[in-house]
Amino acid sequence: MFSRFKKPDAEAARGPSTAPVTSPAPAARAAGAAPQAATGRAPTQMRPTPAALPKPSAEVIAAEKEKKRKERLMELKVELHKRLLDNLNLAAIEHASEASLKQEIASISAEALDEMSVSLNSADRATLTQELYDEVMGLGPLESLLKDETVNDILVNGPQRVFVERSGKLELTDITFKDERHLLRIIDKIVSAVGRRVDESNPYCDARLADGSRFNCMVPPVAVDGSLVSIRKFKKEKLKIDDLVRFGAFTEEMAAYLQAAVACRLNVIVSGGTGSGKTTTLNALSSFIDNRERVLTIEDTAELQLQQVHVGRMESRPANVEGKGAVTQRDCLRNALRMRPDRIIVGETRGEEVIDMLQAMNTGHDGSMTTIHANSSRDAVSRLENMIAMVSIEMPLKAVRAQIASAVNLIVQASRLQDGSRRMTSITEITGMEGEVISMQEVFRYERLGIEPSGKIIGRFNATGIRSAYSERFRQWGYDLPASIYEPIA
């Protein structure tokens, strides 16, 4: 019975020098005895027992459960979406009401879940029905963010990382796509609705959503870690100057000055970085345009919300698959000059259309406006010079600057500060030429005074003490601004 534990007689006859060295007895190890020197081995380290490992907290356990629940719902949604496409009459759903379509989706889903022997509580069933409705009629996981009024921008970095901007600050959301194919399907749904497409041969696209939101995407192989999507949401409410004053974007004195400048038909450029509020500022300034004037707008992606009665809107168009049919902003601008406009507003000047824009400002279309990407008023002038140079027109620098000085009257600088707030940081007039240099004078500026422990910027708006070079023009048009608005705060 115990023969397998007993040494053979031949081994017992051997001397102790040939016997295998054994490790210390368990009792010796427990007593902390050192191992025999003859072994030449380091002491064996004791591994902690499972009881010694820290237990996960209740929050970690709950988060893990929630993650598994979402993964399970995502898998179910993918399977149910396939079944919906097989069972729903896609031609009829366009005319169905939201309530009836959700009821039909819930019915098909319940039947499918019973077949798969899957049990869900009422809350998960309602979530699943809403997400399936968004997949069929909307933009899938993005739909809830598009409906969120607090979200300004939606930024997708691959299927698993979706960011939003709220109050000027970025934050990661818990919204995800199933995989890259799921994200690409939503992208294709957006771009095909406006007659465009994205693939490996044409990996990027600008488009406009049904609600007017601006959409841009870039797909692999150009996007290395998954498709990139940027959505600038369309603001349904039309912000006026009073609203921006209330939000602290600028002061009432600055608003009175801007009202006079726009009403007296000064040519205005709104300058600023990405997300600084250029388009919002341009929309607000347009409220001072007289309703009796004919205004034409030209944009790459239509997002201006002018508040006049007589507005003609134009939008550029990229080339088709064969590389034909493109309509540029410059084409629109040239055509607009033949349509008897009082003012021309270009959503953003960034290319060869700058020549036609300056020509329009110089040839009887006073009061025209546009936006430009620049960090300061002086940088905005330099950007105009560079854009003219890129058009490959042989023109001396002095002549280029004379053209700009004659065409542009006012540069409004908008900025997004580090705390996420947006401010009109400078209002600068172009007063002419001094030698070969464009002369400018700043009338109002935003002065930064410090920063609170919370990170909020402390500052104030102030006049520079320089009286406007257009004061006489303002007076002739019936806007006699008091001299006090130009007085700086002591």
Same domain as 71, residue 202? no
Q: What is the pLDDT of residue 455?
A: 85
DSSP 3-state of 177:
coil
Same domain as 259, residue 204? no
Residue 123 lies in a domain: yes
Predicted confidence (pLDDT) per residue in 138-159, tens digit: 788 898 898 888 898 999 999 9
Query: End of a domain among 137, 161, 178?
Result: 137
DSSP 3-state of 438:
strand
Q: What is the pLDDT of residue 5?
A: 34
Q: What is the pLDDT of residue 94?
A: 62
Q: What is the pLDDT of residue 116?
A: 79
Same domain as 151, residue 122? no
Same domain as 367, residue 227? no
Domain that holds residue 215: 138-234
Give CA–CA dist 76/89, Å, rounded.
21
Same domain as 290, residue 416? yes
Q: What is the pLDDT of residue 21?
A: 45
The continuous run of DSSP H or E covering 260 comes out as helix 252-263
Residue 314 CA: distances (Å) to CA of 190, 282, 298, 372: 21, 16, 5, 18
Query: End of a domain among 120, 137, 154?
Result: 137
Query: End of a domain among 97, 122, 137?
Result: 137
Same domain as 407, residue 372? yes
Q: What is the pLDDT of residue 18?
A: 43
Give CA–CA dist 202/318, Å, rounded.
12
Q: Which of 156, 286, 290, 127 is nearest to 229 (CA)?
A: 156
Name beta bridge partners: 437: 434
Predicted confidence (pLDDT) per residue in 369-405, tens digit: 999 999 999 999 999 999 888 886 778 889 999 999 9
Residue 182 belongs to domain with CATH number: 3.30.450.370
Q: How is residue 485 annotated by DSSP?
A: G
Q: Are 162 and 145 in contact (CB under 8 A)?
A: yes
| Domain count within the chain | 3
- State both tokens at 272: 């600023």
Q: What is the pLDDT of residue 110?
A: 80
Q: Treating both helix axes as pointing N-terminal to C-terminal, what angle do 397-407 and 377-390 enclose, rounded to 10 degrees? A: 120
Count CA atoms closer than 13 A to 473's CA, side-chain side. Answer: 13
Buried-state track 239-270, b at ≥16 Cβ within 10 A, e below 16? bbbeebbeeebbbebbbebbbbbbbbbbbbbb
Residue 464 lies in a domain: yes
The continuous run of DSSP H or E covering 446 comes out as strand 437-451
Q: What is the pLDDT of residue 32?
A: 46
Residue 166 lies in a domain: yes
Q: How is residue 158 annotated by DSSP?
A: S
Residue 5 lies in a domain: no
Same domain as 178, residue 74? no
Q: Which of 377, 366, 370 is nearest to 353 (CA)?
A: 370
In this prediction, the residues of the chain whose per-residue pLDDT falls under 50 are 1-39
Q: What is the pLDDT of residue 50?
A: 54
